[in-house]
A and B are shown apart, each in its own frame.
Chain A
Amino acid sequence: MKKPSVGVFKFTSDGGCQLQILNMERELFDLLNLINITYFPMAGVDSGEGPFDIGFVEGAVTSTDEIIRIKEIREKCRILVALGACACYGGIASIKNQKTQRELEEKVYTDLTAVHSTKAFGIDQYVKVDAYVRGCPIDKNEFIEVVKSTLLQIKPNLRPHSVCVECKLRENPCIFLIEGEVCMGPVTSAGCGALCPSRHRACEGCRGPASDPNTPSLARTMLEYGLTPEEVRLKFIKYAGETQAFKEGAGIK
């Protein structure tokens, strides 16, 4: 079997998800037996413009240039995978969507003539996406699962249920019930192994909405725990404020 060619592309992001790929010391060599990475600038690989069998895209699309570029990349990739919260649904960058472009640009830039920024969206705002690897940053096992299932021509087994399932299985003390703090776990997609709650930290929702997330109900509970509506809003817009479910939790119509 010919090894599929893989490209890793960066958009508006901090590179953390790409770093997760490079951090896979144990698996990296076995992975490279399976795939041929031909474009990965962060790793110093730039041996071609494609086409690619699999394209991994990190980062949100936040400018007109990036809109054009993501469409070009889509053309070149047989399978396109959104890598991380930013590429999946805008991520941290999408917090800016709560304010007008002008307001933000004036805060950051002195000369606005060269600025062509747009609202920050996940890449599926502009192109068809074949698979999503969620999280900030991604979980390496999910990345490997996507690579393996692509090669096996099957749907990856990434179950989108709540973080609570994994959290309970790890027998963590519930952030709500034992620690007495609010947590996004009940409405956030699992796959991280309940990473934050396992360290007594509330889930921040970086993996976006779980399947069937009851965000209005969770928002009500957060208010009962003493949060202000504004604090609840900030919880829901931190990573995936552009998703319908988290918009509802944030109280955005």
Chain B
Amino acid sequence: MSSSHNPYMPSLVKIIDIIEETGDTKTIKLIFVDEQTQKNFSFKPGQFNMLTVLGVGEAPLSISSAPGEGDYFSHTIRRVGNVTGAITRLNVGDTFGARGPYGNGWPLDKIKGRDILIVAGGIGLAPLRSVIYYIKENRDNYGKVEILYGARTPKDCLYRREFDEWREIPNTRLLLTVDNVPEGTKWEHDVGVVTLLFDKISLNPSETAVLMCGPEIMMKFAVHNLLEMGFKDKDIYLSMERRMNCGISKCGLCQIGPKFVCQDGPVFSYYELRNLTEKIF
């Protein structure tokens, strides 16, 4: 199924595990069926793959596993469109297509030695989960870590079973909030949008790099609040979503100003974004 010189050709991947995250979201663990392809597949946190279901289409999805996690990679997939719908209907052992990885990923080398503030909303936690485990594996390379995560309801929180493990990473705090708590649901954390958690940030803005992913409206408010708190636009990194059909800066769909989100991004500093000819927020 694979072809080395044609970048549009997907390779066959097999589902080795499925974890139900929420009502509409699953994490699926994958391996390339071709052993050599799997062996050669290396990626950085924040990169993405183009996932293919033949006859349905192709879609860009962030890799949610960390590079050192195991001999597999995972995607956390929310059922929102044709491809994500088709993949979430598959079972363990089923195969489909993937090609990648694409994009720049988070600037984890550049921000070595700094404190890290992670801000995620909804499915936006997926590419940041990869970062959390990367930091865990390379704990000495980074300072304090604070993870702020907002979801719609307690049941919509991704990776709930992993939260305790995250809290046990040395020098790491996890702060949670949800938009609302349905009656009868147990919830011991905050209620409200993710920016409400900003009062609890204990990191020094001048020593911190911010890694953020979530709905654009959330990122807009979060960025503005952080700037007011003294964080620098060059230290705030955002993973952007745009329509993408190729992943290799050919189809032209994902442009923001002169940037191709698929190749120049998906991660940009807010400094880069705010100076583009196409205004984001």
Contact = CB atoms under 8 A, between A and B. Distances in A.
Interface string B50-74: 0000011100000000000000000
A154 interface: yes
A50 B199 CA distance: 59
A153 B81 contact: no
A16 to B, nearest CB: 31
A246 B56 CA distance: 33
A56 B56 CA distance: 23
A170 interface: no
B266 to A, nearest CB: 24
Interface size on A, as a range, is: under 10
Interface string B75-94: 00000011001100100000
Contacts of A155: 81-82
Nearest to A148: B55
Nearest to A153: B85
Interface size on B, as a range, is: under 10
B81 A152 contact: no
A86 B57 CA distance: 32
A165 to B, nearest CB: 16
A77 B55 CA distance: 26
B3 to A, nearest CB: 25
Contacts, number: 13
A153 B55 CA distance: 11
A152 B56 CA distance: 8
A155 B56 CA distance: 9
Contacts of B57: 154
Interface string A147-185: 000001111000000000000000000000000000000
Looking at A152, A153, A154, the one whose CB has the most chain B CB atoms below 10 A away is A154
A87 to B, nearest CB: 25
A155 B89 CA distance: 15
Contacts of B89: 153
A126 B82 CA distance: 28
A155 B85 CA distance: 10
B56 to A, nearest CB: 6
A153 to B, nearest CB: 6
A154 B58 CA distance: 13
Contacts of B85: 153-154
A152 B89 CA distance: 11
Nearest to B83: A154
A232 to B, nearest CB: 35
A153 B56 CA distance: 9
A228 to B, nearest CB: 42
A146 to B, nearest CB: 14
Contacts of A152: 55-56, 86
Nearest to B82: A154
Interface string A36-78: 0000000000000000000000000000000000000000000
Nearest to A154: B82
B251 to A, nearest CB: 15
Nearest to A155: B82
Given A152-B86, A153-B89, 6 more contacts: A152-B55, A152-B56, A153-B85, A153-B86, A154-B85, A155-B82
13 contacts: A152-B55, A152-B56, A152-B86, A153-B85, A153-B86, A153-B89, A154-B56, A154-B57, A154-B82, A154-B85, A154-B86, A155-B81, A155-B82
The 4 closest A-B pairs by CB, nearest first: A154-B82, A154-B56, A155-B82, A152-B56
Interface of B: 55-57, 81-82, 85-86, 89
Interface of A: 152-155
